[in-house]
Amino acid sequence: MATASPPILGVVGGGQLGRMMAEAASPLGVELVVLDPTPDCPASPVAREQIVGDFDDEEAIRTLAEMADALTFEIELADPDVLEAVEEEYDVPVHPDPATLRMIQDKLVQKRALKERGIPVPEFRPVDGRDDLLSAGEEFGYPMMLKARKGGYDGRGNVPVESPDDVTDALAEVSGELMVEEFVPFERELSVIAVKGADEIATFPVGENVHEDEILRETVVPARAPKSVRERAEEVARDVLSVLSGRGVYGIELFEHADGAISVNEIAPRPHNSGHYTIEGALTSQFEQHVRGVLDYPLGATDLRSPVVMSNILGDVEESQPADLAGVDEVLSTPGASFHWYGKREVRPLRKMGHVTLVGESPTDAADSSTADLLANARSLTDQLTFQ
């Protein structure tokens, strides 16, 4: 293992998560080296160095391990087998545990692991063709959700099946190994950003996620849910942590059912889009927490500073084009608003290009009308950001 000072954290992935991780690591005296296939990736301007290579490039990951005091990843496309091998060969700790990454990469394996521990999840089953999916429809009823077991994100790889007539088209739309879940008529989609240290865990306040077209648009914190529901969501998130091994941040997506019950949707073994609000909204950001956890530093406080809304800046274009954004002055001149640009040179339809955070003036209860006002104002600000 490297013995450099300052500590060097090697990160597989150099997208926006790696960029914000590097920004959070710097005040701690920690430097990042990132591995990413895109030259001059978003993290490269703020990282110590970039290694250009695929996320599963064994030789590139070995080079990363030789340089680092610890390894982590900001994308699930990292290869857990290679990470396990370099962890042993170079005596460099990898967090979260590669075994956890392997489990989370397969949604069916993930759901089975949660169910075996008694953690509430929607009913599910594997799918191997048309007959299996029709049989699931008889069991779960319609609609139901057909999912690719591996690789899907931002709604990609998820297809609703509304009736038996949709089965053939749904199977044609999603490729690879498949599973199907019962449809949950949820009241809200919630998320908890949770972090494991060496001998401590912490959770951030429960967020409420607003999706359109299966893509996260805004996160509202505190979630506009009864206190009892928020407490149950945090309890379930802590139960999820007991299934996962390895230090660092985990994004835990949840459904709030109409009766107030909570079930787990999916888990991300890394900082999560719905946790970006923590940069301005919490005493310690999720990115600093991840660095602390991975390097076995004490965890920071997760208290909320004030009500806060995070709003994604998405590519509002019909086809790829250079990323030339207008309307930033309006955001920067708004009290309580913060602008985050991810440094991507090309904008594509619905690509995440940055985000806006809007904080309230003082701590309030989730039922306070100011939370709704924050959401409306944050949405208005991002609507004014346009690509030329």
User: Which residues are annotated as part of the binding site for ATP?
Assistant: 107, 147, 181-184, 189, 211, 265-266
Phi-psi region of 151 (alpha: psi -120 to 50; beta: other; left: phi over 0): left
State both tokens at 138: 């008889």
Write the DSSP assignment of 234-286 as a string of letters.
HHHHHHHHTT--SSEEEEEEEEE-TTS-EEEEEEESS--GGGTTHHHHBSS-H
Q: Give the annotated binding-site residues.
A: 107, 147, 181-184, 189, 211, 265-266
CA atoms within a 13 Å half-sphere pointing along the CA-CB vector of 308: 26
| Bridge partners, 243 (sequence order) | none
Instruction: Judge whether 268 and 17 are in contact, CB under 8 Å.
Output: no
Instruction: Judge whether 299 and 199 are in contact, CB under 8 Å.
Output: no
The span from the CA of 145 to the CA of 254, in Å, is 16
Taken in order 275, 280, 283, 286, the sign of the CA dihedral is positive
Instruction: Judge whether 219 and 244 are in contact, CB under 8 Å.
Output: no
Taken in order 47, 53, 55, 59, the sign of the CA dihedral is negative
| Bridge partners, 248 (sequence order) | 196
Q: How many CB atoms lie within 10 A of CB 76?
A: 18
State both tokens at 221: 């914190």
The span from the CA of 101 to the CA of 270, in Å, is 10
